[in-house]
Amino acid sequence: MLLSNPIVAEMAMEAEDAIASNLKQFLLVLSVSLSVATLPQVFSWFRQIPYTLLLVIVGLGLAFVDVRLVDLSPELILAIFLPPLLFEAAWNLKWSDLKSDLFPICLYAIFGVVITIGGVALGLNKFAGISLTTALLIGASLSATDPVSVIALFRELGAGKRLKTLMEGESLFNDGMAVVAFSFLVGLPLGVSTFEPSQVLGQLLAVIGIGIGVGSLLGFGISYLTQRFDLPLVEQSLTLVSAYASYLLTEDLGGSGVIGVVTTGLVLGNFGSRIGMNPRTRLIVTEFWDFLAFFVNSIVFLLIGDQIRFAILGDNLGTIVVTIIGMLATRAVSIFALGFFSNVTVKSEIPLKDQTVLWWGGLRGSVSIALALSVPAVLGEREEIIATVFGVVLFTLLVQGLTTKFLLQGLGLISDQTQQQDYLATIARRAALSRVLAFLEKGDARPGIEPEFYRYQTALVEGQLTKLESELDEMQKKCPELKEFTADQLKEELLAIEADTYAEFVRAGRLNKELAPFLAEVFIPE
């Protein structure tokens, strides 16, 4: 009856056309992203470029010929793309690693943001003639290292575990500070904010507190819920719902959605997955989030490159250069000064090499772009802010991103992943053949098979095992670090076995709370 009305029918057709158009755009973006993923497999030269940065370069190529796939918006980045990427990073971030470096991470995440905003703003105001209000907004947009960019790059390069923890921890936590600072500063020219330290501090504490509160409530609630049943697909779906729910609920309550998602991911990854999921389910959920992170990253990095407007960048080249210099200078001050303070006060012992990588590896990405795009149109300098931020983001991704690998190699901080994989493959073959040998030695004779055949097969397997032992010894002689690598893996396996045992006791009702891993204290004595 309603569709008999011509106006209603026309509106329905327009809605259907919009859905079809959006679906086509999404499939186009996905097709291009996945096509780029195959390039390193077809052309070996492309393997020298991290996959995420290769996507940015392809996006730039599309932008150069004026092919626009999708128009990025703040809502698309912050509400759709960011929650799953933050959750996946927090899910895989071990609390034991994070806790040991929590002090320097908090220093970088809080005071590093303040130093960057102030330094970049003063530099732009003095050397580029930008008004202080506009300069502060540019500084706030670029104050936080982007977890999407940093985490993807460091994982691909195979950086050390502690270095990844420091960078990931800072990147995950400083976004809340950056968003609060940006929200406050964008309100100054609009007359909705006043520069009062008590107001700023109160807003910051409220935003962080609400984020931690909502994230903890959801994380622990889902942890105890999944403890009541063993349904892998349902538990996997609950983690996906929790990622978006924590962001949306926290934002609606006036908190930082970023902090809410990170808190939920940390709780579920370090507590809920242990107490409420069996090992098989935990593996399924982890693989699901690995896939989702790859899927979303593929889209995000391609679209970042595709959004570049080369003409606008050229018009603001001077401002971009000044901003880059100011950003690198303030990043150096925050990393090296705060790192020295942390080393002196709490004995963090962050090496100068690691601090150098933290300085140069502080990439900016989708979060900075989202903040710049969210500048109200009523501000006359909006286009200049967006152009400057896009130019700086492009510099960090292409110049810093493409040279970080060489910096890691030059400082001796990058592991030889190929050698490690070959070593693990050899260990796996030895384990498999050992099981085959154990089966043959049981002497389970079968009708029609002569004992001589068993002896012959046993001799073959023993010969292969001897050869593999020689290969392992040779690998360890060439790369002594493999022994430490193997020992660390064994420790992780032992801790996982211990944690799974405690979880079984909790699920069976024989314990009313999860016990802290005892072996962690044995491995790392005070």
- Which residues have CB under 8 Å from 196's CB, separation 6+? none
Higher pLDDT, 243 or 208: 243
Averaged pLDDT for residues 205-228: 91
Higher pLDDT, 147 or 455: 455
Cα–Cα distance measured from residue 428 to residue 113, given in angstroms and rounded to the nearest whole number: 45
pLDDT of residue 455: 81
pLDDT of residue 218: 95
Q: Provide the Cα torsion 88, 91, 96, 100; round to 10°.
A: 40
Mean pLDDT score across all residues of the chain? 83
pLDDT of residue 518: 65
Higher pLDDT, 19 or 180: 180
Averaged pLDDT for residues 153-164: 74
* pLDDT of 18 strictly over 80: no
Higher pLDDT, 303 or 488: 303
Q: Are 301 and 59 in contact (CB under 8 A)?
A: yes
* pLDDT of 2 strictly over 50: no
pLDDT of residue 9: 60
Lowest mean pLDDT among 124-128, 320-324, 379-383: 379-383
Averaged pLDDT for residues 11-19: 58
* pLDDT of 147 strictly over 70: no
Averaged pLDDT for residues 92-101: 87
Using alpha carbons, select from 76, 64, 70, 66 the residue that is nearest to residue 31: 70
pLDDT of residue 499: 73
3-state secondary structure of 377: coil
Q: What is the pLDDT of residues 464-495, one digit of tens each?
A: 889 988 888 888 877 776 777 777 777 777 77
* pLDDT of 34 strictly over 90: no
Using alpha carbons, select from 368, 367, 385 the residue that is nearest to residue 376: 385
CA atoms within 13 A on the CB side of 19: 6
Cα–Cα distance measured from residue 59 to residue 360, given in angstroms and rounded to the nearest whole number: 23
- Work out the pLDDT band at 102, boundaries 50, 70, 90: very high
pLDDT of residue 15: 55
DSSP states along 59-107:
HHHHHHTT-------HHIIIIIIHHHHHHHHHHTS-HHHHHHTHHHHHH
- Work out the pLDDT band at 16, boundaries 50, 70, 90: low
Using alpha carbons, select from 215, 265, 318, 275 the residue that is nearest to residue 92: 265
- Work out the pLDDT band at 427, boundaries 50, 70, 90: confident
Cα–Cα distance measured from residue 171 to residue 161, given in angstroms and rounded to the nearest whole number: 15
Averaged pLDDT for residues 306-314: 86
Amino acid at 55: L
- Work out the pLDDT band at 6, boundaries 50, 70, 90: low
pLDDT of residue 149: 65
Using alpha carbons, select from 181, 203, 206 the residue that is nearest to residue 114: 181
Higher pLDDT, 414 or 265: 265
Q: What is the pLDDT of residues 44-84, one digit of tens each?
A: 666 677 777 888 888 888 888 877 777 778 888 888 888 99
pLDDT of residue 242: 95
* pLDDT of 425 strictly over 60: yes
Averaged pLDDT for residues 400-405: 87
pLDDT of residue 264: 96
- Work out the pLDDT band at 376, boundaries 50, 70, 90: confident
Higher pLDDT, 169 or 198: 169
Higher pLDDT, 151 or 455: 455
In this prediction, what percent of the chain has a pLDDT beyond 90? 29
* pLDDT of 122 strictly over 90: yes
* pLDDT of 252 strictly over 70: yes
* pLDDT of 507 strictly over 90: no
Q: Which of 36-45, 50-59, 396-405 has the highest average model confidence (pLDDT)?
A: 396-405
CA atoms within 13 A on the CB side of 332: 5
Amino acid at 89: A
pLDDT of residue 177: 83
Using N-to-C axis directions, what is the helix angle for 161-187 and 147-157, rounded to 10°? 170
Q: Indicate the pTM of the whole model.
A: 0.76
pLDDT of residue 525: 46
Lowest mean pLDDT among 244-253, 271-280, 354-363, 490-499: 490-499
- Work out the pLDDT band at 300, boundaries 50, 70, 90: confident
Which is it for the CA torsion 252, 253, 258, 260, positive or negative?
Answer: negative
Cα–Cα distance measured from residue 459 to residue 478, given in angstroms and rounded to the nearest whole number: 29
Averaged pLDDT for residues 329-344: 95
